[in-house]
């Protein structure tokens, strides 16, 4: 399995490859991501100060995101699709905390697995750890307000978080390579279409995995998890 993960493939995937984005767009996404990263770091410090035991749970959700998003599955046209693992941490700790954990995940994947890249860290982190995280929290809150069971809300949040990340990545690539001959919409349809075949079923798989891991964490941590987020208290 480690050998499989270590194989470097030239492909389009959730993580935009090293050097694939023009410099101006790489800088743009990094600057756009930076304020969320700073806020997320402060938020994590506040959580750990208030509840030191949260360190272990932070490590668990970070490892969950690293493992799930490391598996690259072949898609059409030489591309790849994969799970993301972002929704769990966003629901437990708040969306902004995943900016820090997501950046660490992407950094280690670029270093160890040749997955993504350093110049594209800002773009990859924005799509995965900002868009994916906030969509997860919003979907979870909507599910809760609609009176759904907690497991159903988490499933929906994970599914739409996964899909939102791919939509955002497609938009990032589309806007970076638009021209007179290739409009943004034409590019977006092309990039999004490449991912759609495999990403739709993978999003459902991610929803199932996220619910399973949450239930496992509840079994062993119980009230410690419920104290991390008021939204979880309400849907206890």
pLDDT, tens only, 35-58? 999 999 999 999 889 888 788 889
Residue at 87 is within a domain: yes
Phi (first) and psi of residue 85, to 5 degrees: 75, 20
Residue at 206 is within a domain: yes
Find all residues with CB under 8 Å of 219, minimum gap 6, and list them: none
Find all residues with CB under 8 Å of 166, minimum gap 6, and list them: 14, 81, 192, 195, 199
Eight-state DSSP code of residue 83: -
> Which range of residues forms the domain containing residue 139?
18-234
pTM equals 0.85
Six-digit token string for 212: 């399973």
Residue at 174 is within a domain: yes
Eight-state DSSP code of residue 92: H
Residue at 1 is within a domain: no
**pLDDT at residue 4, as a whole number:** 39
Helix then strand count (H, E) for the chain reads 11, 2
Q: What is the CATH number of the domain that holds 91?
A: 1.10.1760.20
Residue at 5 is within a domain: no
Which of 66, 78, 185 has the alpha carbon at shortest distance from 128?
A: 66
Residue at 13 is within a domain: no
- Rounded CA separation 168/163 (Å): 9
Count of domains forming the chain: 1
Residue at 170 is within a domain: yes
**pLDDT at residue 78, as a whole number:** 40
pLDDT in tens, the chain (236 residues): 344 334 444 444 457 877 788 999 999 999 999 999 999 999 999 988 988 878 888 999 999 999 888 776 655 444 456 788 999 999 999 999 999 999 999 998 888 877 778 888 999 999 999 999 999 999 999 998 998 998 999 999 999 999 999 899 889 988 988 887 788 898 888 878 777 777 788 899 999 999 999 988 888 776 556 566 655 544 43
Residue at 2 is within a domain: no
E-only strand ranges, the chain: 73-74, 80-81
Find all residues with CB under 8 Å of 203, minimum gap 6, and list them: 158, 159, 160, 162, 163
**pLDDT at residue 56, as a whole number:** 86
- Rounded CA separation 149/235 (Å): 8
């Amino acid at each position: 399995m480690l050998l499989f993960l270590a194989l470097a493939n030239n492909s389009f995937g959730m993580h935009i490859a090293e050097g694939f984005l023009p410099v101006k767009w790489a800088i743009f996404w990094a600057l756009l991501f930076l304020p969320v990263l700073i806020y997320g770091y402060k938020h994590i410090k506040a959580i750990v100060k208030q509840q030191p035991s949260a360190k272990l749970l932070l490590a668990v959700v970070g490892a969950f995101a690293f493992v799930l998003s490391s598996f690259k599955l072949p898609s059409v046209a030489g591309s790849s699709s994969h799970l993301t693992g972002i929704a769990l941490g966003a629901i437990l700790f708040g969306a902004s905390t995943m900016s820090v954990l997501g950046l660490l995940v992407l950094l280690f994947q670029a270093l160890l697995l040749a997955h993504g890249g350093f110049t594209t860290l800002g773009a990859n982190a924005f799509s995965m750890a900002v868009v994916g995280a906030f969509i997860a929290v919003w979907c979870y809150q909507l599910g809760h307000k609609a009176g759904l069971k907690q497991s159903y809300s988490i499933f929906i949040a994970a599914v739409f978080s996964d899909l939102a990340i791919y939509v955002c990545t497609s938009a990032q690539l589309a806007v970076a390579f638009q021209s007179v001959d290739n409009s943004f919409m034409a590019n977006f349809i092309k990039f999004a279409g490449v991912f759609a075949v495999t990403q739709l079923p993978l999003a459902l798989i991610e929803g199932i995995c996220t619910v399973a891991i949450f239930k496992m964490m509840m079994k062993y941590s119980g009230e410690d998890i419920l104290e991390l987020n008021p939204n979880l208290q309400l849907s206890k």
